[in-house]
Amino acid sequence: MTPSVRASLRDLGAGGFDLLVIGGGITGAGIAREAALRGLSTALVEARDFGEGTSSRSSRLIHGGLRYLEQGRLHLVREALRERRILLRLAPHLVRPLPFILPVFKGDRVPRWKVSLGLTLYDILAAGGNVRRHRTLGKRDLQEAEPLIRERGLTGGAMYIDAQCDDARLVVAVVRAAAGQGAKVANYMRVTGLIPTVAGIRGAYLRDELSGEVGEVRGRVVVNATGPWTDTIRRLEDPNAVPLLRPTKGVHVVVPRNRIGNRNAVIFTSPVDGRVMFVLPWGAWSYIGTTDTDSPEGPDQVTVDPADVIYLLRSANALFPSARLTDSDVIASWAGLRPLLAADPQAPASAVSREHRIVRGPGGLFTIAGGKLTTWRSMAAQTTDQLVKALGHHRHSRGRAASETEPLPGGETAMLDGFRGPGLELGLGEATVDHLLSHVGAETPAIYKLCRERPDLAEPLHPEHPAVGAEVVFAAEREFAIRAEDVLSRRLHLTTETRDHGEAARAKVERILAETLAARRPDPDHPAGVAPAPE
């Protein structure tokens, strides 16, 4: 596996591409991978770090969506369950089966028989792609599975399996896969304008957010995949563009798992307002989410309100009464904007997917709006079909199906047990070995190699966390990490998995990152050292 190199302005300006993708969240990354797999010359630019937008702020679920089932939108559920099956195969280290408990209480809007019926349908729609069929639970079985759930009114419930995913790492893996297929990819590369020609939009003006330099990139087709920033980019093409989105804010809080005592993921109805919510396990932590509110904040300012925290804790406390969580239990939180489609009364229902839409602006700019983490691959395939058509050629390297079978980096095998012994022999702790297997999967030997060459890199970065120094080198060499924040937040999650938000590791991360980048990039325009925060 060759190191991943961030494309410079020079690389991007050097030649015209078939396709320019704006936005390096899961949607843009997926399109870049799909297009590159089909043989299109592709450039992907992201204004900040890959995944720094909504795609690192989700509930981290790869799921069919029981809510859609209740609404009768069976085709959406079927599509998402199909994608769940594919992703469990493409990246088994990042996308893992997760057992859910669904408790039912007396007087609940959805009674137990209906839950059972719904989950039977969910199993059927998974069409053999299930990890295991659901199980209906009597009260006692449910209490055995989740002993601390409120007993008052409990009638039983069900257990079913969905999947959980490291969202931020998934984005980086997909970007790496695109680069591995020849796409030029650059984080910290902002689109500041679109290049109009008589034939339509043919590229974009760029600003390198690290050096301040400006330049441009040419693309025969340009796709806007900027999540909650979608309408901002559309207005660069058409200042009067009617907004496609009505984003809503979602907040999660992280608490020590032993403060709640949940053994599984739990899906429940908030007694505060009847909304469906989750308590989700994440190693030693649990995160509770999510809210769903209209927000006056734009995507650059989205923050966690104290009222959001109170709502989430009150809801979790009602389900797990012995927890008595207070805000002093919250070690971290995150907020994101869902790029939801605004209703479009003019469009015929059959032509509009309520999930995502692909539209073309007056200058030919493609925009993909809406969607979810779970369905990124199928959204990418549908978008690329249209891009290929617009380009007027059908140059496929391996055709559409390749994206269903080509593993993501680290996902080459699900048989990771064999990697355990060598790590333990190196003196790494069990927690570190487990952490490596779930972060870099089949690439774990590359981390071992670094630890062997430089034993200081086998040291933990933080007293509360299993990550080791070699992962910082790996993040800089292969995962496009440039700033300490990229490593602390999105490559290693130290900001949400330690009580001091990773501060105890910061100096070490900065030092290793600076050394690695200096060794890789002797370019005076891009001074080594930790990059300054972009404006």
Ligand X SMILES: Cc1cc2nc3c(=O)[nH]c(=O)nc-3n(C[C@H](O)[C@H](O)[C@H](O)COP(=O)(O)OP(=O)(O)OC[C@H]3O[C@@H](n4cnc5c(N)ncnc54)[C@H](O)[C@@H]3O)c2cc1C
Which residue, among 335, 296, 330, has the nearest Cα to 314 in the 3D structure?
330
Burial class (CB in 10 A: 0-12, 13-18, 19+), 98: buried
Nearest-angstrom CA–CA distance, 233 and 243? 11
- Residue selected from 116, 269, 374, 438 as contacting ligand X according to rule CB under 6 A: 374
Q: Which residues, 197 to 256, sit near ligand X by CB under 6 A? A: 225-229, 250
Nearest-angstrom CA–CA distance, 415 and 395? 35
Pairing of β 214-224 and β 248-256: unpaired
CA dihedral 314, 315, 319, 321 (to 10 degrees): 0
SS3 228: helix
Q: Select 257 or 372, whichever has its Cβ closest to ligand X.
A: 372
SS3 380: helix
Q: How far is the CB of 175 from ligand X (least distance, A)?
A: 11
| Residue 26 near ligand X by CB under 6 A | yes
Q: How far is the CB of 62 from ligand X (least distance, A)?
A: 6
Report the length, in residues, of the chain.
Answer: 535
Task: Tell me if 149 sits within 8 A of 263, measured CB to CB.
Answer: no
Q: How far is the CB of 250 from ligand X (least distance, A)?
A: 2
Which stretch in 135-143, 367-375, 403-411, 464-472 sits in contact with ligand X by CB under 6 A?
A: 367-375
Q: How far is the CB of 317 from ligand X (least distance, A)?
A: 20
Nearest-angstrom CA–CA distance, 31 and 15? 20
| Residue 489 near ligand X by CB under 6 A | no
- Residue selected from 39, 103, 281, 339 as contacting ligand X according to rule CB under 6 A: 339
Which residue, among 436, 347, 457, 38, has the nearest Cα to 357 in the 3D structure?
347
Task: Tell me if 373 sits within 8 A of 385, measured CB to CB.
Answer: no
Q: Select 25 or 219, whichever has its Cβ closest to ligand X.
A: 25
Q: Which residues, 288 to 307, sit near ligand X by CB under 6 A? A: 290
Q: How far is the CB of 321 from ligand X (least distance, A)?
A: 26
Q: How far is the CB of 420 from ligand X (least distance, A)?
A: 29
Q: Select 339 or 502, whichever has its Cβ closest to ligand X.
A: 339
Q: How far is the CB of 490 from ligand X (least distance, A)?
A: 11
Q: How far is the CB of 355 from ligand X (least distance, A)?
A: 9
Q: Which residues, 164 to 193, sit near ligand X by CB under 6 A? A: 190-191
| Residue 48 near ligand X by CB under 6 A | yes
Beta bridge partner(s), residue 193: 205
Binding flags for ligand X, 52-71, as an x/- string (CB under 6 A): xxxx-xxxxx----------
Nearest-angstrom CA–CA distance, 294 and 230? 17
Residues that bind ligand X (CB under 6 A): 22-28, 45-48, 52-55, 57-61, 190-191, 225-229, 250, 290, 336-339, 371-374
